[in-house]
Structure 1
Amino acid sequence: METRSTSGGQRRGGRGARERILQAAATLFYEEGIHATGVARLVETAGVSTRTFYQHFPTKTALVEEYLRGYEAGLARRIEQKLTREGLTPRDQLLALFTMVAEASSGPAGGPSNRGCPLHNAAVEAAGQMPDIRALVQGNKEGIIRQLTDIAAQAGAADPERLGRQLAVLLEGATAMSTSLDSSRPRQDALDAARLLIELSLPKPQPTP
């Protein structure tokens, strides 16, 4: 059964409503901000009633958490696919992450954007107000550092923890600067800087016999 909204559009419940709400959240939270996006805007974009919204998400914060966890899971899959390409050495894997960031041209909803990392953006908006979301983001960023540190150790870095932290700062800084300047150039600059840092921090590759 469908019911018409007061704006003349159609609101639909039933199957697919949860997915439409999450799709609306991915677009609106990323492009317009979490605090700027109210429930009324979400239900209008998703084409559902307010009642349907709260049947799936008891609070807006619950929706924010699921949106971020979905993004985090998708990001982890993309990183895994990038790192497990055939023939990539640990040195190549470190640089591959920066190549992935440099080549990124869209936000979670698929449109072109320099809005940066959704997790970082959420942490900024959550400061002092959404502790669970801030903890979620912190866990993700710490995981990235551990992953970079582990790869740096496999690549033979003398101080893999230090290199992991430095590379994580470059990754985070690239996306934040891209947002501030509304430009993709900082991501390319980070790739160039990472290439130099990796070269200085790792043993020279042995020539192939």
Structure 2
Amino acid sequence: MSEPSSPGRRRGRGARERILAAATKLFTAQGINATGMEQLTSVAGVSKRTLYTHFVGKDGLVHAYLRQLEDGLLPSRDDDRDPREQLLAVFDPKPRDTDGPIRGCPFLNAAVEVPDPEHPVHRLVAAYKKEFSRRLAEIARRAGARDPERLGEQLALLYDGAVARATALDSDDTGASAREIGALLVDAALADPAGQGQRRPGRGPDPSGVVRR
């Protein structure tokens, strides 16, 4: 026998997309652990059987929810702007999806709510954060940074700190301060080290004090 339809539940194509949309809305507004499966199915307009057809339990849904966010949150590889500006653009405020309080980085939030480092969700978060710094390192390399991996990690750490502080203070102002600090890091990484500037033969004073002709 087929499962009877409840009022408000919709069958057919698009169920997976509705479930993910409901998960995104609820996980963002109230967190992963505070969101129950009953609420998810109600908001998505599907039965539990339909939800479990598309996702292997709540862990599978959380994993899919995060995966769909990755491309939109990672630094883009298709950005035509100057590399220096690309590095600093990660600190620019993003449009808010809701009028509620700032919820910060969904990956950091998931790491807190799923603290086991061996859990698939936590491993996904770690992989995302490593990819974030790798993307920044790629851009830093194009910008001519002496140590692009180090700069990428520094900017990633600065970004995470700014996002966490924005969440605690419910304020977008932290991004501007982080951008200023980021500019100092970027410019220092792109400048010639002290005393390492290249000299062309026949130009400038000789260190020995002898005038070359």
The TM-score, its normalising length taken from structure 1, stands at: 0.82
When Rg is computed on C-alpha atoms for both structures, the one with the higher figure is 2
Deviation of 1:58 (Å): 2.5
Which amino acid letter does the alignment assign opposite residue 6 of structure 2? R
> Within 2, Cα distance between the matches of 1:129 and 1:35?
17
- Structure 2 residue 169 is matched with structure 1 residue 177: no
- Identity, % of aligned pairs? 46
> Within 1, Cα distance between the matches of 2:29 and 2:182?
28
> Within 1, Cα distance between the matches of 2:70 and 2:183?
26
SS in 1 for 2:5: strand
> Within 2, Cα distance between the matches of 1:96 and 1:183?
18
Q: Structure 1 37/183 Cα, relative in aligned 2: closer, same or farther at 3 Å?
A: same
SS in 2 for 1:44: helix
Q: Which residue, out of 67, 73, 79, partners 1:84?
A: 79
SS in 2 for 1:11: coil
> Within 1, Cα distance between the matches of 2:5 and 2:85?
54
> Within 2, Cα distance between the matches of 1:17 and 1:155?
44
Q: Structure 1 171/84 Cα, relative in aligned 2: closer, same or farther at 3 Å?
A: same
1:207 alignment partner in structure 2: none
Structure 1: any 5+ residue segments left out of the alignment?
205-209
CA contact (8 A) 1:2 1:13 kept: no
Deviation of 1:130 (Å): 6.7
> Within 2, Cα distance between the matches of 1:104 and 1:123?
21
> Within 2, Cα distance between the matches of 1:162 and 1:190?
17
- Structure 2 residue 136 is matched with structure 1 residue 148: yes
Provide Cα deviations, 1:123-170, integer angstroms capped at 9, x if missing partner: 111102871111111111111111212222222222222211111111
Q: Which residue, out of 23, 26, 29, partners 2:27?
A: 29
Provide Cα deviations, 1:3-27, integer angstroms capped at 9, x if missing partner: 334xxxx112222111111000001
Provide Cα deviations, 1:148-193, integer angstroms capped at 9, x if missing partner: 1222222222222221111111111111111111111112211121
> Within 2, Cα distance between the matches of 1:130 and 1:22?
24
1:4-19 alignment to 2 at 5 Å? 4-5=6-7, 10-19=8-17
Q: Which residue, out of 165, 168, 183, partners 2:153?
A: 165
The TM-score, its normalising length taken from structure 2, stands at: 0.81
Which amino acid letter does the alignment assign opposite residue 96 of structure 1? A
RMSD: 2.1
Q: How many residues align?
A: 189
> Within 1, Cα distance between the matches of 2:146 and 2:22?
46
Structure with a larger share of its residues in helix:
1
CA contact (8 A) 2:117 2:123 kept: no
> Within 2, Cα distance between the matches of 1:91 and 1:128?
36
- Structure 2 residue 98 is matched with structure 1 residue 111: yes
Structure 2: any 5+ residue segments left out of the alignment?
193-213
- Structure 2 residue 125 is matched with structure 1 residue 132: no
Q: Structure 1 34/130 Cα, relative in aligned 2: closer, same or farther at 3 Å?
A: farther
Structure 1 window deviating more from structure 2 (182-191 vs 21-30): it is: 182-191
